[in-house]
Structure 1
Amino acid sequence: MPAPTVLIVAQAGRLQAEALLFAASLAETSPSARLVVAEPQPGPLWDDDPRLDHDARAALRRLGATILPFDARHFGRTYPQGNKIEALFALPADTPFVFFDTDTLILGDLAAVPLDFDRPAASLRREDTWPKPDIAGHDRAAIWRALYDRFDLDIDGSLDTAHAPDDWRRYLYFNAGFFHFRCPHVFGQRFLHIAQTIRDAPPPELAGQSLDPWLDQVALPLVIHGLGGGRDALEPGWLDGRTSCHWRALPLLYARESDAVVDTVERIANRPDLKPLLARHAPLRKLVHEGGGARIRAMFDRTALPAQERDLRKRIRAAGLWLR
């Protein structure tokens, strides 16, 4: 199948460094892919100018990216994760797309991934991060059912009944590091409506639940289920597998990802055309160019990693190497 339009969001700071790594990896592995970088524009919902700097903009264009502006009308500085919702409207309607967070590497040709754009999917590489059932006495079943009821969705069709009612895996839950669909506007309108409703008028069962930074991941299962997708909409092993890696934070990449992923990051970060730009981002410079990442890598046995990500983070922080 032809490679889809690939959408990321980038702005000044860390995200533009991540976007350069992403764009370089995409250009190497997926020559037919069209990369769109959505760039938030200055406005009342940002304190500082969020636009890419001149050098990063030029480098992204050399790597084949088209840069499209969008305005933050609903989230901005108060919830920057909302960029991934508002950026969808930068694309033309009826454009099959796959969105990725910038902290992702493309490792294989996206044209080979069997994406069904009529059935949306998202990342299943996630942990039990939301909800926290004991905060106000509501269990998982009550919390998720209240959300599905709020949006007139049938929760029963979303359940994995191989897991018990108190098991988080029973409920549709994704990491929002990637998702895809046939139309960014249809997906975006539904995503925006659900996220805003949960934020502004949550059902009582959400009392005490934190929605920062989880709002996008709370809304996303409802969006995907409502559009006919689900956990089985993409064959496992492709995205967040052999074709892409959502590394999320450089210290975590060095702690737990494969040698191939580390080699890819280090090779791209040392390209003569990109190294001067990437070295401006201090965490990347210290971890990749100055050897901090190798120190992290030596701390962990990747065949026996801690079960919880928080334990990785704790050990890395104790070593003074939690840099983002």
Structure 2
Amino acid sequence: MLVVAQGGRIQYEALLLAASLRASDPDFKGRLIMAEPQPGPKWNNDPRIKGTATREALEALDVEILPLHSEHFGSEYPYGNKIEALRLLPKGEPFVFLDSDTLITGPISKVPFDFDRPAASMQREGTWPEIELYGPGYEEIWGSLYDRFGLDMAPTIDESQPQEYWQRYMYFNAGWFFGNCGPTFGEKFTEYARSIRSDRPEELVCQELDPWLDQVALPLVIHALGGGRPGQELDGLDGDITCHWRVLPLLYARAPDRVIAFLTELTAPNKLKKVLKEYDPFKRVIYQGKGDKVRAMFDRSNLPRAEKMIRNRIKKANLWMR
């Protein structure tokens, strides 16, 4: 299992993820590897874990912290950490990547991954591409990307969806993905992402790639490696097994009661609490009741469809903290 652990907010998210894995899946026999970006020419600051408390807490949870020397992305595109970190994994061994803002709420070791058929999270909205009134449509934009890398787009099309509707085209959230070899996956991910960023097809001239670059390249990589959309056997991901919460106020607004109860119990012990409280939004949302106030604002059985609407309501109440 691979996670990025970077200084600041992400190091506390990563600690929460590690604690949730050990609590929810004590039989997990794999390695939990966290890639820690290192200072260098690609960074305009020091991206390493700050202080000693988080590092010591991670090591107490049997986390392997490996140094990541950024070669291609760094400060200009920190989401590229997940792309470059894949080269740290052992060659020829299956892997699962998880964003740091993920809670593991069930036995992930019981998920029947088919590592020879990579897939990624379908917990996404139609965030990319943004279709211009007189510009190219989804078919042309996605088609230009598949053509760029010599890939056949036809097998990726969901024929149950109408023409020029975003869900017809394979698009993932990069919050989790998996494959049978981290370095192989990472090499192709790096190749595609760099090509798209530095020499975008003409059809993408008006498209924003920050922060979407990883999610633009990901379906191409997965298709090239023989994968596709996840099957029902993976429903526990973004379900009973994992919860990609993104921002703590969103977690309190949307998550089922069982997830909030799990989070409350998980973060109660003083050993973990004293470290998590170093990060002010965690202190205020989890420990000072701001999360409960957010939760009281929403009916989980009737949530606004778009995440933006939830965000705006929380911000209006001055409860948005990240």
- Per-residue displacement from partner, 1:111-137 (whole Å, max 9, x unpaired)? 210101100010001001000111661
Q: Distance in 2 between matches of 1:47 and 1:268?
A: 35
Q: Which amino acid aligns with 2:22?
A: A
Q: Which runs of 5+ in 1 are unaligned?
A: 1-5
Count the aligned residue pairs.
319
Percentage of matched positions with identical amino acids: 52
Q: Could you tell me the TM-score, scaled by structure 2's length?
A: 0.97
Which structure 2 residues correspond to residues 110-149 of structure 1 after superposition, within 5 A?
110-134=108-132, 137-149=135-147
* Structure 1 partner of 2:255: 257
CA contact (8 A) 1:135 1:208 kept: no
Within the candidate set 26, 33, 36, 1:36 is matched to 33
* Structure 2 partner of 1:22: 17
TM-superposed deviation, 1:224: 0.4
TM-superposed deviation, 1:234: 6.1
Q: Which amino acid aligns with 1:320?
A: N
- Per-residue displacement from partner, 1:33-66 (whole Å, max 9, x unpaired)? 3211111111111122111131111100101111
TM-superposed deviation, 1:94: 1.2
Q: Which amino acid aligns with 1:143?
A: I
TM-superposed deviation, 1:279: 0.5
TM-superposed deviation, 1:238: 1.5
TM-superposed deviation, 1:91: 1.3
Q: Which runs of 5+ in 2 are unaligned?
A: none
CA contact (8 A) 2:121 2:230 kept: no
Within the candidate set 142, 151, 164, 2:149 is matched to 151
Q: Could you tell me the TM-score, scaled by structure 1's length?
A: 0.96
Which structure 2 residues correspond to residues 184-203 of structure 1 after superposition, within 5 A?
184-203=182-201
* Structure 2 partner of 1:47: 44
Secondary structure in structure 2 of the residue aligned to 1:8: strand
CA contact (8 A) 1:136 1:208 kept: no
Q: Which amino acid aligns with 1:43?
A: G
Q: Distance in 2 between matches of 1:82 and 1:250?
A: 23
Q: Which amino acid aligns with 1:25?
A: S
Q: Over aligned residue pairs, what C-alpha RMSD do you find?
A: 1.1
Q: Distance in 1 between matches of 2:71 and 2:263?
A: 34
- Per-residue displacement from partner, 1:245-293 (whole Å, max 9, x unpaired)? 1011101000001111112222222221111110011111111111100
CA contact (8 A) 1:116 1:233 kept: no
Q: Distance in 2 between matches of 1:43 and 1:199?
A: 21
* Structure 1 partner of 2:220: 222
Secondary structure in structure 2 of the residue aligned to 1:44: coil
- Per-residue displacement from partner, 1:208-253 (whole Å, max 9, x unpaired)? 1000110000000000011111014562422111111101110100
CA contact (8 A) 2:141 2:204 kept: yes
Q: Distance in 2 between matches of 1:319 and 1:231?
A: 37
Q: Which amino acid aligns with 1:163?
A: Q
CA contact (8 A) 2:54 2:275 kept: yes
